[in-house]
Structure 1
Amino acid sequence: LTFVRQLRPTLAGALLLIGQVADAVATPFVGIESDRDDDFWLCHYGRRKTWHLIGTVCVVGSFPFLFTKPMGNHPSSQEAQFVYYAAFIIIFQFGWASTQISHLSLIPDITPIPHERVELNAMRYACTVASNVLVYTVTWAALGISGTDHEAQVGPPDGDVFRDIVLIVVAIGAFFSLIFHLVVRDPSRGGRRESRSRHT
């Protein structure tokens, strides 16, 4: 934000703080709501996968806007950019909390066996590391960074490059989220009581 969008460091720091506060509020909210026994509108899909789907939609719908200029033909003021980015950061943080909390809480629902839970957590962590490496690789390739060029620094002209990087990463993430929703079965689909009776 400070290098590419030329946002003042104080505003960029405030946006970071807003994101952390939004995450701090969203995480327990999603945890509590995804544990509810209530039958709500998407409950037949499964409590965990419903919240994961909500989170995925929020992330896919907000993350690209964090790396694009505010819409309009005229340059936006610093304050207008702050409001623009703050709104999308809040949506993104809610979505991120929804996907992460529901995904993690799905593991104990899938299996009651401790070593299987450990294996699932290990696979989840391995996929997280692989996705982080992929993001860095895509960024490196898109920015054309070489090991000998230490003088290069990103700036306003790189805004379109970052937009393209984000669109690639979001498309890959959406693809794997689709696979998750098609392949993984949510044991809470029939309600918590049915899930508990199976595990006892």
Structure 2
Amino acid sequence: MTRPSERTPPWRYALGMFGTSIPINLIKGSIVLLYVDILGMDVRAYAVVMTLYAVIDALDNPLLGFLSDRTRTRFGRRRPWLLLGTPLLAASMIALFTPPSWLDGSGLVIWFAVFAILSELFDSMLNANYGALLPELFPRERSRAVANALRQGFQLLALIISLALTPVLTTSVFGNEETTGGFTVTAVLYGVLAVVVLLVMTLGVHENPTYGHEERPRFLPAALQILRNGLFWSVGLTGACYGIALAIVLAGIQLYVRYTLGLSVAHAFVLQGEVIIVAAAGLAVWSRVIARIGALRAWRTAFLVLAAAFALMFFANSLLTALGAGVVLGLGWAGMMATQDLVVARVLDADAARHGTHREGLFLSAFGVFGRLNGAVTGVALASLGVLFGYNSGDDPGTRTDDAFRVYLCVYPFVLVALGAIASRFIHVPPAQPREGRDRAAVAE
């Protein structure tokens, strides 16, 4: 008898990663260039907004996950939230990249704050539910690893578009480096694409109906149990070292190319494209590494590779040397993508086995609070460039922009990833446990 949780083809679920990645990576990769460098918003205002966002996100993430876990409909627990959040994310993202031309000063900051926070809110809504489906749809680690590898492949495809191709579209095809029109057109195209893809995914997944008959979790007892879980803190904080480093890179890569390498923004297409292609090829390599040494040891190794990449990137002084460092960066990034979610999934499995309740939404959203720290940290890191190097905005860049973005893109991520590599050595997650017997029992009921 086919288990309900395995009725969804892995590729159908994985396709959703393409849809969720397109909007948020456009935001992460281009928002600093648009608002700070082109529109002239002060980096200190950017830092304040991102810190405010981090506080709001720390509150709304667990709430959204909790509401998802408690949802009971004939369409499932997660699908209604995915159908609601998809158009709202697209609309807020398009508005974020369409600031009225007459806005400046505080008005521009308010527009940025409103739609940046709304975009992240709806992104949290989508990812809390999409991420919770992975352990539910694919209870066996082997099938889970296949689904995860496929969705990371779709994410890389999305990154080729939303990161590597975007600088060409926004500054060369639909606009130029001094205007905002190209960003608006690109945002509309990406928004439509994301909505179509996410609807195809959402309407094609089959949640496990037995989970919908479990007792609805209560917020305070569930939250306290999670907060008392030592692995929640150790895995969450260590994973945040990687997440924040990645967010800094996404936010700063175009300005690194522009100021540190002294090239046009469109050249970021070459560097980002190479890193993504290497990462895509690296996923197959890391899948074999995981099969040989396990997800936990592979996770620790990926941290080390990523740290080495940032060290090499620091010494790059041309596109050619940056491309050399980018090969190592792509390999390390592939390793983190292949292992991070598997380590987290083991923590979720252990929690469900211990407490008898599947509350992946709340648990993943609580983990998401660590990830959402990247907004505040990237904002503070950007603001520090004004203090250290005199870079306050595109209108007031100072005289040391090359050093500023070398430190921003290389030194800050290296320190974070090195801390993650050290911390990961002290983390031990429960071994993978097959759940076929428990699933068969659930079907029989």
The partner residue of 1:53 within 73, 79, 83 is 83
Aligned twin of 2:50? 16
2:144 pairs with 1:114: no
Say how many residue pairs are matched. 184
Name the CA distance, whole Å, in 1 between partners of 2:104 and 2:186. Answer: 25
Name the CA distance, whole Å, in 2 between partners of 1:82 and 1:119. Answer: 43
Name the CA distance, whole Å, in 2 between partners of 1:34 and 1:141. Answer: 38
Letter of the structure 2 residue corresponding to residue 56 of structure 1 = T
Structure possessing the higher radius of gyration over alpha carbons: 2
Aligned twin of 2:352? none
Judged with a 3 Å threshold, the aligned counterparts in structure 2 of structure 1 residues 170 and 188 are, in CA distance, closer, same or farther, namely: farther
CA drift of 1:154 comes to 2.7
Name the CA distance, whole Å, in 2 between partners of 1:78 and 1:132. Answer: 32
CA drift of 1:59 comes to 0.7
2:433 pairs with 1:198: no
Judged with a 3 Å threshold, the aligned counterparts in structure 2 of structure 1 residues 56 and 22 are, in CA distance, closer, same or farther, namely: farther
Aligned twin of 2:132? 105
Judged with a 3 Å threshold, the aligned counterparts in structure 2 of structure 1 residues 178 and 126 are, in CA distance, closer, same or farther, namely: same
Name the CA distance, whole Å, in 1 between partners of 2:142 and 2:444. Answer: 15
2:27 pairs with 1:6: no
2:201 pairs with 1:180: yes
Judged with a 3 Å threshold, the aligned counterparts in structure 2 of structure 1 residues 188 and 62 are, in CA distance, closer, same or farther, namely: farther
Judged with a 3 Å threshold, the aligned counterparts in structure 2 of structure 1 residues 199 and 163 are, in CA distance, closer, same or farther, namely: farther
1:3–1:154 contact (8 Å) kept in structure 2: no
Taking the TM superposition and a 5 Å limit, the aligned residue runs for 1:26-105 are 26-36=60-70, 38-39=71-72, 43-70=73-100, 75-105=102-132
Q: 1:141-186: CA deviations, max 9, x gaps? A: 32239xxxxxxx833x2x0001111111111111111111222223
2:210–2:443 contact (8 Å) kept in structure 1: no
Aligned twin of 2:172? 144
Q: 1:14-61: CA deviations, max 9, x gaps? A: 22223333332222222222111x54xxx2221111222222132112
Q: Normalised by the size of structure 1, how large is the TM-score?
A: 0.79
Name the CA distance, whole Å, in 1 between partners of 2:61 and 2:444. Answer: 26
2:96–2:112 contact (8 Å) kept in structure 1: yes
Name the CA distance, whole Å, in 2 between partners of 1:58 and 1:67. Answer: 15
1:47–1:188 contact (8 Å) kept in structure 2: no
Judged with a 3 Å threshold, the aligned counterparts in structure 2 of structure 1 residues 64 and 189 are, in CA distance, closer, same or farther, namely: farther
Q: Normalised by the size of structure 2, how large is the TM-score?
A: 0.38
CA drift of 1:189 comes to 8.7
Letter of the structure 2 residue corresponding to residue 22 of structure 1 = I
1:57–1:95 contact (8 Å) kept in structure 2: no
Letter of the structure 1 residue corresponding to residue 76 of structure 2 = G
Judged with a 3 Å threshold, the aligned counterparts in structure 2 of structure 1 residues 199 and 97 are, in CA distance, closer, same or farther, namely: farther
**Gap regions ≥5 residues in structure 2:** 1-34, 216-357, 359-438
Name the CA distance, whole Å, in 1 between partners of 2:45 and 2:80. Answer: 34
Instruction: Considering Cα pairs closer than 8 Å and 6+ residues apart, tell me whether 1 or 2 has the greater RCO.
Output: 1
Judged with a 3 Å threshold, the aligned counterparts in structure 2 of structure 1 residues 189 and 174 are, in CA distance, closer, same or farther, namely: farther
Q: 1:99-135: CA deviations, max 9, x gaps? A: 1111111112213222111211111211111101111
Aligned twin of 1:149? none
Name the CA distance, whole Å, in 1 between partners of 2:57 and 2:153. Answer: 23
Name the CA distance, whole Å, in 2 between partners of 1:178 and 1:170. Answer: 12
Name the CA distance, whole Å, in 2 between partners of 1:77 and 1:188. Answer: 51
Judged with a 3 Å threshold, the aligned counterparts in structure 2 of structure 1 residues 189 and 50 are, in CA distance, closer, same or farther, namely: farther
Let me know the Cα RMSD of the aligned residues. Answer: 2.7
SS at match of 2:38: coil
Q: Percent identity?
A: 20
**Gap regions ≥5 residues in structure 1:** 146-152
CA drift of 1:138 comes to 3.3
Judged with a 3 Å threshold, the aligned counterparts in structure 2 of structure 1 residues 199 and 105 are, in CA distance, closer, same or farther, namely: farther
CA drift of 1:188 comes to 4.5
CA drift of 1:69 comes to 1.5
